Amino acid sequence: MAQNSEYKELLLNRKKEIEKIINSLKNELKGVNSCDIKEDGDFAACSTNSENNYQIYKKQLQELKEIEEALLAIEKETYGICQMCEEPIDPERLKIKPFAKYCIDCRELIEKENK
Ligand SMILES: [Zn+2]
């Protein structure tokens, strides 16, 4: 088992990045709302942009949630264990995606089910 403190640092760094992205997206989304008053042509352009930003915003929020869960798991010493099969997650995978909750096998199963 690799050192959890390493992952914790990865997670905390990522968390900071995401919080920055979320904050700037929030500002952009707010700015876009003021487009509502403009004439129709502008509004169309603005709302497409806002839709994209909103999707990114939602994704970032989701990732932030997963990071917080992973940090909690480190505290509880359940970090790095697949939540489906309870096998340890490959450390190489955790380095790329430190907030992974599932091992590669289970992740693939879930993705297939979601399709
Ligand atoms: Zn698994």
How far away, in angstroms, is 82 Cα from ligand 1 center? Answer: 5
CATH of the domain at 16: 1.20.120.910
Distance 80 CA to ligand 1 centre (A): 10
Range of the domain at 52: 4-114
Per the structure, how many domains does the chain have? 1
CA 89 to centroid of ligand 1, rounded, Å? 7
Tell how far the Cα of 64 is from the centroid of ligand 1, in angstroms: 22
Query: Looking at residue 85, what is its pLDDT?
Result: 97
For residues 46 and 19, which has the higher predicted lDDT (pLDDT)?
19
Question: What does each C-alpha distance from 104 to 11, 55, 83 come to in angstroms?
Answer: 19, 25, 12
How high is the pLDDT of residue 36? Answer: 53
Burial of 112 (0-12, 13-18, 19+ CB in 10 A): exposed
Give me ligand 1 centre to Cα 43, in Å: 46
Residues 42-100 have pLDDT tens digits of: 555 566 778 888 899 999 999 999 999 999 999 999 999 999 999 999 999 999 999 99
